[in-house]
Structure 1
Amino acid sequence: MNETSNPEEDHARHTGANAADDVVGRAGKAPGHAAFARQSGGTWRTVTAQEFADQVTGVAAGLVAAGISPGDRVAIVSATRYEWALCDYAVLMIGAVSVPLYETSSAPELEWMLRDSGAVAAFVEPGRCQATFADACAPSVRRSWAMDLPGLNQLCGAGTAAPAGEVERLRREVTSDSPATIVYTSGATGRPKGCTISHGNLISQVDEILAAGGIADEVLTEDASLLLFLPLAHVLTRLAQFAAVRAGTVVAHTSDFQSVAADLATFRPTAVLAVPQVFDKLYRTAARQAATAGHARVFRSAARIAIAHSRSLDTGGPGWWLRIRHRRFDRLVYRTVRAAMGGRATVAVSGGAPLPPSLAHFLRGAGIRVLEGYGLTETTGAVTLNLPAAARIGTVGRPLPHWSVRIAPDDEVLVRGPGVFTGYRHDEPGTKEVLDADGWLRTGDLGRLDDGYLTVTGRKKDLIVTTTGKNVAPGPIEDRLNAHPLIDHAVLAGDDRPYLTALVTLDPDAFADWKRDHAKRPDATVTDLCHDIDLVTAMRAAIDAATGDVPPAGAIKRFRIVPTRFEVGDELTPTRKIRRDHVLAKYSDQVEALYSVGS
C-alpha cells in the first residue's frame, strides 16, 4: 500500500472541550476586536468578539429557558447568514446537537431529515424556508424560532428566566466525546446520511488547519477577512467559520449568489472560500467582458501568459521575457480579475470538487493563490490541503497534521485522523462498512500519492465499466468538458455499454454570445437550436478538444444537448455536485437514444 502521514507538529492547541469555547476565548482575549461583519442598510457593520459572545450566550439562555437540554437535536434551516453562526454556537454552547439543513431542501427531504435526526426544535429563516418547513411534518419538533432580529430578540428575552450561571455550567460539562452536530451528506449518490460529529472532531480539525504551515500566519490572521457564501450546512464552510473565529479573522456572509460580486466589491475580503464552479464563473465572466469590449485576443493572450507564469514558478521561475509580458498583462487584465474578488484577496480556498489545473494556474498567474484541499463530511472537512509555500497545482495537497492517507490496492483513498466522524445515525452496518477497527475510513474516492501529495482521480461508485471491459472514471473527463466556455455541465454514460456518450447543458451567458456570433435569433432557446448544425458542430469540436489526449476508452462517441439547465434540488446537490444516478434516470430516454441504431 502507498501511504503518507503528517506527524504531530509543535503548536499551541485548543485546551477546552466545547467547540463554542472559542467564542468565549476570543471575547476574553480581544473583546473589542471585530469578529463578524453584517450588512445593515447597504453597509457592513462590525460585530465585536464581546458583542458576539453576549449574543450567543443570550440565545443559549433562551434555549435553556425553552427546555432544550444537552443532547437535544436543534435544526437550523437557513441560507448562509450571520444569524446562522449565532444560533449554531448557541446550540453547541449548552451541549445540544446542531442539525444544519440545506435551505434548498424540499418539504419531503426536510421532513425525512428532521425525523431521522430526531430534532426537537428548529431555527428557521423567514420566507421560503419557513414555508417549506411548515409543509414538512415532523412530530418530534416541539418548538421553532424565526431566524431574524425580532425572533432572536424574543428568545433572548425569554432567556432571563434561565437559572443564573446555567449556560456556563452546561458549557463546561461538555466533553470532547460529546456529540456536537449531525451533518447530512449532500445526497449525490442517494438519500443523505446523517454523520455524527463530536466536539473533539471540530476542535481538533480547527487545530490542524491553523497548525498547517502558512495558514495562521498568512491566511487566517487577525488582520484578515473572509467572505462566506457557500451553504453553512456544508461542513467545509462551517469548518472555515470555526477556524476564522478561533484565529480572530473577520467573517462576513452572503446567501444570494446574484449579489456575491457586489458583496465582494464592498466587503473586500482578503480570502475567499468557494467551489470550483465559482472560480470558473469568475474566469468566464472576465473572458466574456473582454470579448464584449473587443479585447478577446488580449484576454486570451493574458490567460496564456498567466498560466505560463504560474507553471514557471514550479520549475525555477519565469525568464525575463515572461516577466515583462506578465507585468504588462497585470496592468491590462489581471488587476481586473483581482478586482472582481474585491481587490484585496490574494488567497482563495477551493474544495468540494476538483479544480481544473489550467484554471488554478490562471488564477495564480493573475495574483490569486488557490489552496485546493480534500475532505468529506465523514472527516469533518479537510484531510489534505495545498499550503501557501508548498502548493502543487493539480493535486489536493498533503495531509494536515495528525492525518494519514493510504492508497488501497484497488486505488481507493483511505484516511485516518482526528476528524473522522463517530458514525452514521441509525446505520451501524453502514458505519462498519466504511470505518474499520483501526480507524481507517474508506472514502469511496479513487486516487494516487506522489511525493506525499494526493491526486483524486474519481469516485469508485461512479466508475464506468464498458462491455469491452474497460474501466473509465467519468469525473476527470467531465471536468475537462465543463471547462469549455459553452458547457455548463456534462454527464457521461456508458456503464455496460459499448462506448461512452455524454449529456451536456449549455452555459446561458456563453450560449447568448454564441448566438450573436453565429447570427442566430437572439430569442432562440436551447430547445430551438439543440439540433442546429452549427451548434452541434461547435459542441462536437469542444468534446473532441477536451478528450483529444485521453485513452481510447475515454473517447465520447455520441452526445446529446439537454435543453434545460441542471438545477439545485433536482440534478444538482446543494453544493452543486451532479446527482449522477438521478440525472441518468431522469434523462434515460435521451441516453437510450444515443445507443439506438441509426441515432
Structure 2
Amino acid sequence: MRDVALAPRTVPPLTGGLADSLFDLAADQPARPLIARRTDPAATEWEEVTAAELRDEVVDVAKGLVACGITPGHRVAIMARTRYEWTVLSHALWAVGAEVVPIYPTSSRDQVEWILRDAGCVALVVEDEQGVMTVGPVCARLPALRHVWQLDAGALRELADRGAFLPALTVDSLRRIVLPDSTAVVAYTSGTSGRPLGCALSHRGLASPCDTLLAGWGHTAAPPGEQGRVLAFLPFSHVYGLMIQGLCIRGGLLMAHEPDPGQEALASALRSFRPTYFYAVPSVFEKMYKNFLRTAQQAGRGALFERAARTARAFAAATERQRLGRGAGPGLELRLQHAVYERTVYRRLRAALGGRVRRGASGGSPLHRELSLFYEGIGILLHDGYGLTETCGGVTVQPLGREKSGTVGQALPGTEIRIAEDGEILVRGPSVFQGYVNDEGATRAALWGGWLATGDLGRLDSEGYLTITGRKKDVVVTSTGKSVAPAALEQRLRMHPLIHQAVVVGDDRPCVGALITLDPDFLAHWRAALALQGDAPVREAREENALRDEVARAVAAANSAVSRPESIRVFRVLPEPFDLANGLLTPSLKLRRDAIVGHYAEEIDAMYQARSRPPRLATPPDPVDWDDSDSVFR
C-alpha cells in the first residue's frame, strides 16, 4: 500500500434499525414537518406532512404487510420513481424487519426477472400499469413471488385496510427486534457488464455515513435557525438517492419528492419548493451550466455571461487558496468585479434553483474542477464526494472551511482509505457492505481482510484529499502499450456546451480515439445562431464544416490537459445519444462501455482507417504519424 487516509470516528454506533429514527422523531417532535407533497404534479403549492403523520401512515402500511404475511427477513422489491410512497413503504418494510430490493422502473423484463429471482422476493410494488405489464409475463416463473401491488391503484390504502385489525403494538414489537447488522437493502449494481450483483447493505451501514455527515455537516443544510429543505429527484433505486432519503429523515430535514427528473419538471419543482440545499450528479450540474449559457446567448448576453463565469471561477479559486492557507484571497479589483456580477448575473442564476440554495453536493462521478469553481463563484458551494453501492454511499466529504475543488474531499470520520500499488482505491469502515447475495466468489474478490477493493483508481495528496482518476476496467491500452484512464478526457470534453457524451476508445489501436454525441438543445441553439446564408446544400455543407471545427476545438481543449501519447487523435460524432432505450446506458445512467464499443465497432474501425496510411505501404502506420486529430462525422 502506498497512501493511507484515516479520520477519527465521531458518532455513536447504531442501536436499532433505520425505521427507529422516524419513530423517535415523531415521539419527540410530532409536529415537525418532514415531507412536502403535491396532490397535483403541476401544482405550485406543497402540503406538509408532519413526523407524527408520516409515522402513523408507516404503521398502517406496516400492519398491512404483516397481514399479508411479510415477516422479518422477507425481501420486497420496489420498482417506482422517487415519490412519497417510496419513503412510506421503505420505512414500513424496515419497521417489520423486511428487506427492501430497489429496482429501477426503467428496467427491462429480463432484468426485473433476474433481480426478483436472485433476491428471492416474496412481493413487488410497482408504480403503474407499465410496471404491471413488465412483470406480468414473468410472474409464473417466480414461485416465491406472492404479491404484486400497484401504487397508482391505491396500494398503500389497500395495505392499510388489510391490516386495520392489527394493533400498532404488533409493528412496535417487530421493530424493536431489528438489529443494526440486519440486512436493510439488497441493492443491485447497474451491471455495466454481465449480470448485476445484489449488494447486501445493513441498517448500520446505511445509517453510518448519514449520521456522520449530519453530525459534522448537518448545520450547513440551511441558514441558522431554519429547517433544511431538500428536493429529492434522483432515483431511490440508487444508493445515492437512498442516502439522501436517510439524511432527510434521520436529520429532520423537510424533503420533497419530484418523480420526473426532466429539465422542465425539475425546474418547476425547484422554483416552487425553494430548497436550501441541492444535490445532484455532475451531468445535472453540467446541463444547468449549459442552459445558463444558452439562455444568456439567446438573450444577446452571451459575452456578459462568459465574463461573469470567468470572474466567478477566478474569485472561487482565489478564495480557495485563502482558505487552504496558500494565498491572500481575492484582490480589490476581483472583489469589485464579483460584486457587480452578483447584482447583475449571479443572483439570477441562483433563482433558477429557487433562490435559497447556498450549498449543495455532487456525487455519482467526479465533478470537474472548473465547474465546481463556477458554482462556488456564483454563491453555491458544492461538496463533491465519493462513494459507491458497496459502501452504502458516502466514503469521502469536503472538510468544512477547507474545501478543495477538483478532489472528492477526505475520508469520512471512521472510514479508512488506501491506495494500492496499482492505484486502486481500497476502503475500510462501518459502511462497507456485507457481501454479494448468492455470490461468495465475487464477495471474496471484493473484500480483502475487511478492505473493499472498489475498482476505482485514485490518488491521495499530502493532506488526505482523494482525487478519482478513473475505473480499473475502463483503462484503455493502445497498441504502443500506453495506458490511458479515459475519465479526465471525457469529463473535459463534456465541458464544451455542444458535447453531451463522450467515450474514449483505443484498446489495441495506434492512438486514443473518442466517440462523441451532441447536446440536442444546445445544437439547435448553435445552428440558429450560426445563421448561414445560401441554398440548402451549400448552407448544410458550411454548417457541417463549422460544426466539425467546433468539435475539433473541444477535442484540442481536452487534449491540453494530458500528455501527447494520451491525447485524442481521432474522433467520430454519432447521430444519436447513448441512452437506456438502445441499451448503452445503465439504469443509473453510466456508460456501458463494452456495449458501446461493440455497437459502434464498424464506426470505430472506419474512424481509424480514415487516418491510416495508404494500403500500398507494406508496413503498418507509425504512431508518430498520427499527429493531427481527425474528425469523422456520421
TM tier relative to shorter chain: over 0.9
Mapping for residues 200-211 of structure 1, pairs under 5 Å: 200-211=204-215
Counterpart of 1:283 in structure 2 is 289
Cα offset for 1:14?
A: 5.9
SS of 1:257's equivalent? coil
Mapping for residues 109-508 of structure 1, pairs under 5 Å: 109-137=111-139, 138-148=142-152, 150-162=154-166, 165-212=169-216, 215-219=217-221, 223-258=227-262, 259-315=265-321, 316-437=328-449, 439-450=450-461, 451-508=463-520
Structure 2 Cα separation of the partners of residues 15 and 85 of structure 1: 20
Cα offset for 1:519?
A: 3.2
1:204–1:419 contact (8 Å) kept in structure 2:
yes
Q: Which residue identity is paired with 1:245?
A: I
Structure 1 Cα separation of the partners of residues 135 and 356 of structure 2: 39
1:501–1:558 contact (8 Å) kept in structure 2:
yes
Of the three residues 598, 621, 624, the one matched with 1:585 is: 598
Structure 2 Cα separation of the partners of residues 108 and 216 of structure 1: 41
Deviations 1:169-227 (A, max 9, x none): 11011111211110011223442210001112122222222233xx1222278611000
CA RMSD of aligned residues (A): 1.9
1:530–1:561 contact (8 Å) kept in structure 2:
no
TM-score, length-normalised on structure 2? 0.90
2:385–2:398 contact (8 Å) kept in structure 1:
yes
Of the three residues 44, 53, 67, the one matched with 2:46 is: 44
Structure 1 Cα separation of the partners of residues 458 and 74 of structure 2: 39
Structure 2 Cα separation of the partners of residues 367 and 201 of structure 1: 33
Deviations 1:245-290 (A, max 9, x none): 1111000110212300000000000011100011111111111110
**Residue 297 to residue 180, structure 1, CA distance change in 2 (3 Å):** same
Mapping for residues 2-17 of structure 1, pairs under 5 Å: 2-9=3-10, 11=11, 13=12, 15-17=14-16
Deviations 1:502-551 (A, max 9, x none): 110000011112212333699x9xxx889932222221121112212310
**Residue 35 to residue 15, structure 1, CA distance change in 2 (3 Å):** same
Cα offset for 1:164?
A: 5.4
Q: Which has the larger radius of gyration?
A: 2
Cα offset for 1:598?
A: 5.4
Q: Which residue identity is paired with 1:566?
A: F
Q: Which residue identity is paired with 2:131?
A: C
SS of 2:521's equivalent? helix
**Percent identity between the two aligned chains:** 44
Structure 1 Cα separation of the partners of residues 214 and 152 of structure 2: 32
**Residue 558 to residue 343, structure 1, CA distance change in 2 (3 Å):** same
1:31 aligns with 2:30: yes
After TM superposition, the structure 1 stretch with the greater mean CA deviation from structure 2, 236-245 or 89-98, is 236-245
Counterpart of 2:574 in structure 1 is 562
SS of 1:353's equivalent? coil
1:196–1:423 contact (8 Å) kept in structure 2:
yes
Structure 1 Cα separation of the partners of residues 435 and 504 of structure 2: 32
Question: Structure 1: where are the runs of 5+ without partners?
Answer: none
After TM superposition, the structure 1 stretch with the greater mean CA deviation from structure 2, 295-304 or 193-202, is 193-202
After TM superposition, the structure 1 stretch with the greater mean CA deviation from structure 2, 240-249 or 221-230, is 221-230
TM-score, length-normalised on structure 1? 0.95
Counterpart of 2:586 in structure 1 is 573
**Residue 276 to residue 510, structure 1, CA distance change in 2 (3 Å):** same
SS of 1:19's equivalent? coil
Aligned residues: 591
Structure 1 Cα separation of the partners of residues 62 and 272 of structure 2: 32
Structure 1 Cα separation of the partners of residues 533 and 178 of structure 2: 64
Structure 1 Cα separation of the partners of residues 63 and 6 of structure 2: 43
SS of 1:448's equivalent? strand
Structure 2 Cα separation of the partners of residues 458 and 66 of structure 1: 46
Q: Which residue identity is paired with 1:262?
A: S
1:477–1:554 contact (8 Å) kept in structure 2:
no
Question: Structure 2: where are the runs of 5+ without partners?
Answer: 322-327, 613-634
Structure 1 Cα separation of the partners of residues 588 and 329 of structure 2: 36
Q: Which residue identity is paired with 1:578?
A: L
Mapping for residues 63-142 of structure 1, pairs under 5 Å: 63-137=65-139, 138-142=142-146
